[in-house]
């Protein structure tokens, strides 16, 4: 009975610790191979294999994702991260794309509005009445129409 209780307590305490440990698959899509510039899960370059081995060793030691990333940045530089850090100058990479989309949507909206207003004004100008014909053309048209009246 004591043995079962000891096993149950050990498993209960080990589960949260095991859940906190990342897996290699958790990190492979967040890290980039420095040579081929693709994520580790897509790369088979020698450097990518080396980084995968480092990650696997650190995962066995149950290091956190942030600890592993910090160590890799120290060894390979910040270009090893798939997403730039959200600090300092790197914030521009997170802020500029949404701002660019908003500006583009605004410009397109203004252009569509101006285009639709212009075409409505042109239609209104054209509906002021019939365009007068040249007198020679009008006489010729009257003669042709008179032939069909008979």
Backbone φ, ψ for residue 60 (5° rounding): -60, -35
* pLDDT recorded at residue 47: 87
CATH class of 18-83: mainly alpha
Of 77, 63, 71, 79, nearest to 17 by C-alpha is 63
Of 116, 17, 35, nearest to 76 by C-alpha is 35
CB 76 within 8 A of CB 51: yes
Where are the chain's structural domains? Answer: 18-83, 86-123
Model pTM greater than 0.85?
A: no
Q: In order along the chain (150 residues), what is the average pLDDT of each group of 10 residues?
A: 64 56 83 85 86 89 87 85 73 83 94 78 61 86 86
């Amino acid at each position: 009975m004591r043995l079962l209780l000891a096993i149950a307590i050990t498993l209960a305490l080990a589960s949260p610790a095991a859940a906190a440990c990342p897996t290699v698959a958790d990190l492979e899509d967040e890290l980039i191979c420095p040579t081929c510039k693709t994520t580790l899960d897509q790369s088979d370059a020698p450097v990518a294999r080396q980084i995968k081995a480092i990650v696997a060793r650190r995962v066995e030691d149950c290091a956190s994702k942030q600890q592993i990333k910090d160590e890799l940045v120290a060894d390979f530089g910040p270009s090893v991260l798939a997403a730039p850090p959200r600090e300092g100058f790197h914030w521009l990479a997170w802020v500029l794309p949404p701002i660019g989309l908003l500006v583009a949507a605004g410009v397109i909206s203004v252009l569509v509005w101006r285009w639709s207003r212009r075409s409505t004004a042109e239609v209104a100008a054209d509906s002021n009445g019939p365009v007068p014909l040249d007198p020679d053309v009008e006489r010729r048209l009257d003669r042709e129409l008179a032939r069909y009246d008979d």
